[in-house]
Amino acid sequence: MDIPFIPAHSSNYARGRTAPILWIVVHYTANDGDTDTNNAHYFQGAGRGASAHYFVDEDSITQTVRDSDTAWHCGAERGGSYFNGARNANSIGIEMCSDVVGGRYTITEQTAARTAGLVRSLMDKYNIPLSRVCRHYDVTHKACPEPWVRNPQLWEDFKRRLVEEEDGMIEKKNVLLNGTAYPCECIEKDGYNFVKMRSLTQAGYDVVFDAARQMPAITAPQCRPFVPEGDEAVQDAVDALQEVCGLEEQTIAYLLRYEYGDELVRKLAAGLR
């Protein structure tokens, strides 16, 4: 990752650190369409009273304070409280550039993805666990980054992306198996979706370990992937079966899911007649 360094004015941060780097704190700039470079130039000015180590926008990142120096990004206001262990002295501050869409602050997908990449590399570099990656909100309850405070799910999504792309996190996802949704254990990694084989059993797949051949075996049920409407002859046969035999809708649906279901239903109806 090529990150240019545009130093903030020395009056905007403190030289050195009084504590090791333990935390990463994520912020937003509360601007509309700003860039990392804009922000870097702004903080070249003296007496801003604040600073961050990095600014991220959709297509680039700029560093303005060295990791080894203390940026002023998450200090509590006078009389304010702290809600976790992050302080300016022990954290790296990252500002995400923002946009206003429909009257609300937004962090674009590209900016979030770029920020995730930066956070991951800093987690690796300083051996910081996910539990010590937080929002400014988590430090002082300031509404920052506002879109991820207003909608905490976006923050959860961001955190998931930090581990997912690392080692692939198991997630329960609904997957359509033979047209019915089943919760399956899935892992998304490198653009591929992996489904736990055992999750297939609930949909009628036979998943076993074949001891003779020493490999896992999956046997599909006698199903077809979807049940088409069926032609008129099939529909007539279905009506006859329901009328005469009193078959439930779900029984019919089951018969029609069988890969030779149309033929079966037609033959059964013909037998009745």
- The span from the CA of 88 to the CA of 17, in Å, is 9
Binding interface with Zn ion (CB under 5 A): 27, 136, 144
Tokens found for residue 70: 């203390």
Cβ of residue 196: shortest distance to Zn ion, in angstroms?
39
Cβ of residue 135: shortest distance to Zn ion, in angstroms?
8
- Closest to Zn ion by CB, 134 or 184: 134
Question: For the chain, what is the total number of helices (H) and then of strands (E)?
Answer: 8, 14
Under 8 Å between Cβ of 19 and 77: no
SS3 category, 73: coil
Of 225, 176, 227, 228, which is closest to residue 202 (Cα–Cα)?
Answer: 176
- Closest to Zn ion by CB, 21 or 149: 149
- Closest to Zn ion by CB, 85 or 183: 85
- Closest to Zn ion by CB, 159 or 266: 159
Tokens found for residue 26: 């994520």
- Closest to Zn ion by CB, 116 or 139: 139
Cβ of residue 86: shortest distance to Zn ion, in angstroms?
11
Cβ of residue 141: shortest distance to Zn ion, in angstroms?
11
Of 154, 137, 139, which is closest to residue 91 (Cα–Cα)?
Answer: 139
- Closest to Zn ion by CB, 81 or 127: 81
Cβ of residue 144: shortest distance to Zn ion, in angstroms?
3
Neighbours of 95 (CB within 10 A): 32
Of 85, 92, 96, which is closest to residue 122 (Cα–Cα)?
Answer: 92
Cβ of residue 127: shortest distance to Zn ion, in angstroms?
24
SS3 category, 209: strand
- CA 146-71-115 angle, to 5 degrees, is 50
- Closest to Zn ion by CB, 73 or 257: 73
Cβ of residue 142: shortest distance to Zn ion, in angstroms?
6
Tokens found for residue 20: 């090791």
Crossing angle for the helix pair 232-245 and 249-257, to the nearest 10 degrees: 140
